[in-house]
Structure 1
Amino acid sequence: MTTLPFDALACPLDHSPLMHTDGVWRCEHGHSFDVARQGYVHLLPVQKKRSLDPGDSKPMVAARRRFLETGYYDGIAEAVSHRAIAALGSMVRSGSTVPAILDAGCGEGYYLRHLDAAAGEQPLAMIGVDISKWAVLSAAKRERACRWAVGSNANLPVLPASVDLILCLFGFPSYGEFARVLKPGGRILQVDAGADHLKELREIIYPELKPTRERTSSAPEGFEELASSTLRFTAVLGDQDAIADLLAMTPHLYRGSAEGLERAATLSTLTVTVDVVIREFERQADSL
């Protein structure tokens, strides 16, 4: 693998370029951000936080890491990597620059690691950004070749027009920011839960399922939708630990009824439907 760290970072306070020297990222206005011992950089200023410890908690991150390491979502990772490599094909052929990938809401780095492995000898410059310091810490411990940063999708610590491809997987897209940091012709790969995603689990923990909200069919402003597809498969969770980890890594743990969560805790196995929608958008040249 030939992954390179992404270096086009921007100061989260004034948006000027950051320079890396002696384990510190500094901008021309004197703002500085230390690189943690594990290799990541914290670029979410206190004044831009909505809570003391935003994003996924340490237990949620640990549950997601255990669940994903079992391979239950490998089908999603493989589909995303395949689409990402195809999207980058024209960029690789058209010039000598290394394509830059941003995972916006990277969690513990599962999808970037899969893409890294699938790319083989093709060099990629990668950065994962997440608002949870626990997620970024976990990612940095597993993969030192990527750049990892604590930051927000609403204020990405990335320079304008510096990214070729954004991954936004089960996350919170900020299309204005995505348009700002993408190069003209850059792409977004977005993965969202479909109507039947984890339906069997939801039927257990909720008294009744709410009607599925209609997903907008139009592309976000400044983008053209190139493709949309659905990926469906089943996953057999073979023990209570896997079921508990799946619950812990989703909002359902906090939204489910007490009776429903008790029922889920008694299960020793559960077959769930994985149903996701993969959409690909291209940034238009005049979107800014």
Structure 2
Amino acid sequence: MSRSYSRADSHDTPRPDTVGLVMRDRWALFLSPKWIAFHLVVIIAAATLFNLGLWQLRRLDERQSFNAVVEQRFSEPAVALDVLIPDDVVIDSDGVDVLAAGIEWRSATVSGTYLPEHAIRVVNRSQNGRAGDNLVVPLRLDDTRVLLVSRGFVPLGVEAPDVPSVTVEVTGRLHPSQERSLLGARDPSEGVLTEVQRLDLSRLDPQIPGGLLPVYMDLLSSNPPEVSGVPEPVIAPDLSEGNHLSYAIQWFVFSLAILAGWVVAMQVSQKRALRLSSGH
């Protein structure tokens, strides 16, 4: 029995050419220039956020390794400086970089006489939320070599007492020469420095009388003692793991959220295209 088609039937019937195109290749919609650009943006953004997460995990691993080294060296008792540094080693000796790195954070004890006329201030320091300077004075050892001793931190506007003028025995933690960071302030390359941004031992060596050692010391104690409270001992490093793990998780979540949004956007667009092609 034949059936006659009304105008309404014609309106409800999907257009064969459009429906056929969609059914033959359901992904053709997403190969237009606009969608290709969108895909690239999503992929780049997701990959960037994912790699930021990996970067935070690497930072966490570095922090854990650093903490382990510091804690292990903090646990070792103080020893005489000549146990850690041979008596013929100075700043320009071969292999001093490896030597200095290997004894960083170790505690050592040594005797000598301060050279206050060659004192140096390390400026732009902060400690416990206050701005100030670290006071550094060369200590001439019994063998005539010289060790830079950071007496501690002095807030801006506070005067530090003079160093003892007699032979002193000092105990402190050792550190290698400091290097300028990529964006760090520069010290003048020539001349005598009384204020510096960092303790670059090679740069300071020409102005210090005697053979300068390849490490400097953060003072912990002195005999005779420093005046209590000024300068303040340089604070120990923070040995927590920081927020690296939580930041990594956040970056990974953001990356997954972008990918999920990408999938949802394609599904919604595809459904809309099918609905339009069917005439509804």
Structure 1 length-normalised TM? 0.23
- The structure that is helix-richer by fraction is 2
More strand by share: 1
For normalisation by structure 2, the TM-score amounts to 0.24
